[in-house]
Copies of this chain bind each other. A is one copy, B any other.
Amino acid sequence: MAQEEGQNGGAEKTVVEVSFKSVKPQLFVEAPKATDAIQFYKAAFGAVETCRSTQPKRKADQELPHIVSAVLQLAGSTFIVADLSDDSSSTKGGGAGFAMCLETEDLKAAVAKAVAAGAVSESEIVEVEGACCCAERVTKVKDPYGFVWQFCSPSNKCGTLISVKFSAYLD
């Protein structure tokens, strides 16, 4: 007999309640061009950078730090720019990739509800410090129409190590 995995041990079907704090488009560019792309969005559209998370340099010859995520404000909305890495939550898209980031405290419930509606789980829940500038745990699904939705759960430690408010970082 096949049994469904039930991490909460419940056999009854329950209505999954999920709330999201924010939704942000995330634009992935080929590394290490995120720095240039951010400058372009400032010059072209007047975007304002409010936060940047970077990864420590892995090689001495890398001049630019890998941008895990940079948060830009534009016309009252927020979007994220990131260098594409192997584990980036993206489909191939305009630029190097694109995902919609949904912030929630209950990643499992968010995935369960999306999968019940027809999405396909694309990854386990993983820890990515600096994702969406202040997320510690992330996972993703692909919807039936080909778009990737990344669920992010913010960490209380947000901003302490590699994620810094941009006002204190540059300018």
- A90-B94, A94-B92, A100-B25 given; A113·B44 CB < 8 A: yes
State the majority secondary structure of interface residues on A: mixed
* In contact, B20 and A94 (Cβ under 8 angstroms): no
Q: What separation, in Å, do the CA atoms of A46 and B148 have in the docked complex?
A: 16
CB proximity of A118 to chain B, nearest CB, Å: 6
Distance of A152 from chain B, by nearest CB (Å): 12
What B residues does A103 contact at CB under 8 A? Answer: 75
Interface residues on A, range: 35 or more
Note all chain B residues with C-beta closer than 8 A to A24.
77
Contact of A40 among B19, B22, B143 (CB under 8 A): B143
Contact call B149/A45, Cβ cutoff below 8 A: yes
Judge whether B94 and A27 touch: CB under 8 Å.
no
- Which residue of B22, B44, B94, B113 is within 8 Å of A146 (Cβ)? B94
What B residues does A45 contact at CB under 8 A? 18, 20, 23, 102, 113-114, 149
Contacts of A93 in B (CB 8 A): 91-94, 98
Q: Does A51 contact B (CB under 8 A)?
A: no
With A90-B94, A93-B98 given, name 11 new contacts (CB 8 A): A18-B46, A20-B46, A21-B75, A23-B79, A24-B77, A29-B145, A37-B143, A37-B145, A40-B118, A43-B117, A44-B114
